[in-house]
């Protein structure tokens, strides 16, 4: 007998015998019968069994069971059918008191959620988060593959390949010291130059950052793309715009039930996401919110306010900020005039979810930029070297997958969008 998924159990199965498998979601013992809610990856169904038949079955919440039974019509909270149990078999026992309850929809504290990750992920109001994440990742790939991009796999153990700075994790690599890649930046540029022209990668990146905020992870999934033969960063912004339209459309198709049930809101992506320059952003912050940012960069509160502005005045939950000053961008950012760069960030619902821009493709300009930033180009030889041999004008971007998920779903903390997050304190589970 073949197992049937619970979501497929509809009225047309009434009077048929079925085999279902799953977890015991809830047990309710009445005088003569016991109701067992059974949960599998697709849904929950009510099963009913005589108390006599179940006397010797040691059932607990979260036991794994299989049930053969007959489908009958019913009026219960979950659906209009139920399963009358003919045979029940325990596949895996529960040996201990559950540290958290799975079968209620109540919120739990972040630490409790992450300490008991396997159990907290069984809660339906948490489980769907990582399904949304998976759909976003696959949507990213689908869109880009159709547009002629090639998927790449670049090393995470690197030597020259790190952009540098203080947020590198060190690694002993046999006799050498190596680092964990902060991004695939240099390698994706190299793959454009290797003739693939348009490339993407979805992979972990690593930041040894000390701060412990709701928006930071020390290991996260970066969705990167890089493409050659562009005019400037506007080409990259355009492709991100189209990509986001595709992603939200896909989510709408595959997650509409969840959207209603868990009350999140899949955003509408404008045909053309509005953009303002970094300078304009600072003026807007001052004029509309009387906020003067002491630093050159925009802090999280500024990002919130710029989002407020975009929503209120531009009718968009997304807004690009362009033309960042050189001092705020890395050595490979293509300069624009004396002080600016061909660069952009994308703010979505008050959080930066993308950094991108055009890169330098001229060898001399690149080497000089390294020097101007106080870096020794010879420490990056295997990267700079390639610019001697014909590299097309190019640019790209990176989207933080957990941040995107977090912002779409309105999660309080980006850690909720990671199955097993790594942060300043957490290496387990």
Encoded tokens for 110: 């972040």
Which CB, 127 or 293, lies closer to a copy of itself? Answer: 127
Which CB, 311 or 422, lies closer to a copy of itself? Answer: 422
Least Å distance, CB 295 to a copy of itself, is 26
> Radius of gyration over alpha carbons of the chain, in Å?
26
CB 19 within 8 A of CB 1: yes
402 annotated among ligand-binding-site residues: yes
* Sole window of 244-252, 263-271, 273-281, 420-428 interacting with a copy of itself (rule: CB under 8 A): 420-428
271 annotated among ligand-binding-site residues: no
66 annotated among ligand-binding-site residues: no
Restricting to residues 115-154, which ones interact with a copy of itself according to CB under 8 A?
A: 117-119, 121-122, 127, 130-131, 133-134, 137-138, 141, 145, 148, 150-154
Q: Which of 3, 211, 261, 412 binds a copy of itself (CB under 8 A)?
A: 3
Name the helix (H) or strand (E) containing 156: none
217 annotated among ligand-binding-site residues: yes
**What character string, x for contact with a copy of itself (CB under 8 A) and - otherwise, covers 81-110?**
----------xxxxxx-x------------
- Does 35 bind a copy of itself (CB under 8 A)? Our answer is no
Which CB, 105 or 155, lies closer to a copy of itself? Answer: 155
Encoded tokens for 29: 């013992």
Alpha-carbon dihedral sign for residues 243, 249, 250, 251: positive
Restricting to residues 60-79, which ones interact with a copy of itself according to CB under 8 A?
A: 62-64
272 annotated among ligand-binding-site residues: no
151 annotated among ligand-binding-site residues: no
Least Å distance, CB 59 to a copy of itself, is 11
Restricting to residues 395-414, which ones interact with a copy of itself according to CB under 8 A?
A: 401
394 annotated among ligand-binding-site residues: no
CB 206 within 8 A of CB 218: yes
197 annotated among ligand-binding-site residues: no
Encoded tokens for 4: 């049937």
Restricting to residues 221-260, which ones interact with a copy of itself according to CB under 8 A?
A: 221, 229
Q: How many residues in the shown chain lie near a copy of itself by CB under 8 A?
A: 95
Cα 81 to Cα 10: distance, rounded to the nearest angstrom? 7
Main-chain phi, psi angles of 173, to 5 degrees: -115, 90
- 217 half-sphere exposure, CB direction, 13 A CA radius: 23
Encoded tokens for 224: 């990167």
Name the helix (H) or strand (E) containing 47: strand 43-50
Cα 22 to Cα 26: distance, rounded to the nearest angstrom? 12
Restricting to residues 284-313, which ones interact with a copy of itself according to CB under 8 A?
A: none
208 annotated among ligand-binding-site residues: yes
CB 46 within 8 A of CB 35: yes
Task: Return the beta strands (E) in 282-342 as ranges.
Answer: 318-322, 335-336, 340-341
Which CB, 206 or 332, lies closer to a copy of itself? Answer: 206
State yes or no: cis peptide before 349, omega within 30 of 0: no
Cα 36 to Cα 24: distance, rounded to the nearest angstrom? 7
Q: How far does the chain reach from its first CA to its final CA, in angstroms?
A: 37
Least Å distance, CB 137 to a copy of itself, is 6
Restricting to residues 163-202, which ones interact with a copy of itself according to CB under 8 A?
A: 169-174, 176, 178, 180, 187, 190-191, 193-198
Which CB, 198 or 326, lies closer to a copy of itself? Answer: 198
Restricting to residues 356-395, which ones interact with a copy of itself according to CB under 8 A?
A: 361-363, 382-383, 385-386, 388-393
CB 237 within 8 A of CB 252: no
Query: Which has the closest alpha carbon to 202: 221, 228, 175?
Result: 221
Cα 8 to Cα 411: distance, rounded to the nearest angstrom? 30
Encoded tokens for 169: 């994790």
CB 78 within 8 A of CB 37: yes
Least Å distance, CB 121 to a copy of itself, is 4
Please list, in sequence order, all residues whose beta carbon lies within 8 angstroms of the beta carbon of residue 190, skipping any fewer than 6 positions away: 383, 386
26 annotated among ligand-binding-site residues: no
* Sole window of 75-83, 351-359, 407-415, 418-426 interacting with a copy of itself (rule: CB under 8 A): 418-426
Least Å distance, CB 188 to a copy of itself, is 10
* Residues annotated within a binding site for ATP: 207-209, 215-217, 352, 400-403
* Residues annotated within a binding site for L-aspartate: 163, 207, 355, 359
* Residues annotated within a binding site: 163, 207-209, 215-217, 352, 355, 359, 400-403
């Amino acid at each position: 007998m073949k197992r049937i998924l619970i979501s497929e159990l509809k009225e047309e199965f009434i009077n048929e015998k079925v085999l279902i498998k799953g977890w015991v979601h809830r047990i309710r013992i009445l005088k003569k019968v016991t109701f067992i809610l059974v949960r599998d990856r697709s849904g929950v169904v009510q099963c009913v069994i005589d108390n006599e038949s179940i006397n010797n079955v040691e059932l607990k919440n979260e036991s794994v069971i299989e049930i053969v039974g007959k489908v009958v019509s019913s009026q219960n909270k979950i659906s209009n059918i139920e399963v009358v149990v003919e045979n029940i078999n325990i596949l895996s026992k529960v040996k201990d008191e559950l540290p958290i309850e799975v079968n209620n929809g109540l919120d739990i504290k972040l630490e409790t959620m992450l300490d008991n990750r396997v159990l907290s992920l069984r809660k339906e109001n948490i489980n769907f988060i990582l399904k949304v994440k998976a759909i976003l990742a696959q949507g990213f790939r689908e869109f880009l593959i159709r547009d002629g991009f090639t998927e790449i796999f670049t090393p995470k153990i690197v030597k020259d390949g790190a952009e540098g700075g203080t947020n590198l994790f060190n690694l002993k690599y046999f006799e050498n010291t190596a680092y964990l890649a902060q991004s695939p930046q240099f390698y994706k540029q190299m793959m454009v130059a290797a003739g693939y022209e348009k490339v993407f990668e979805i992979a972990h990146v690593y930041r040894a950052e000390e701060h412990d905020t709701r928006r930071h992870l020390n290991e996260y999934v970066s969705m990167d793309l890089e493409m050659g033969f562009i005019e400037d960063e506007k080409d990259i912004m355009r492709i991100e715009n189209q990509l986001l339209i595709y992603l939200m459309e896909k989510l709408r198709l595959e997650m509409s039930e969840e959207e209603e049930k868990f009350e999140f809101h899949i955003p509408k992506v404008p045909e053309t996401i509005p953009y303002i320059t970094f300078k304009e952003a600072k003026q807007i912050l001052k004029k509309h919110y009387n906020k003067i940012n002491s630093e050159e960069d925009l802090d999280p509160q500024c990002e919130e306010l710029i989002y407020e502005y975009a929503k209120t005045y531009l009718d968009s939950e997304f807004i690009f900020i362009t033309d960042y000053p050189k001092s705020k961008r890395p050595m490979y950012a293509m300069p624009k005039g004396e002080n600016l760069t061909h660069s952009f960030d994308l703010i979505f619902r008050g959080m930066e979810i993308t950094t991108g821009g055009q890169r330098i493709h001229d060898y001399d300009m690149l080497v000089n930029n390294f020097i101007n930033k106080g870096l020794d180009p010879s420490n990056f030889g295997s990267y700079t070297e390639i610019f001697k041999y014909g590299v097309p004008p190019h640019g790209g971007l990176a989207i933080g997958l957990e941040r995107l998920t977090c912002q779409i779903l309105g999660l309080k903390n980006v850690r909720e969008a990671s199955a097993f997050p790594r942060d300043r304190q957490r290496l387990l589970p």
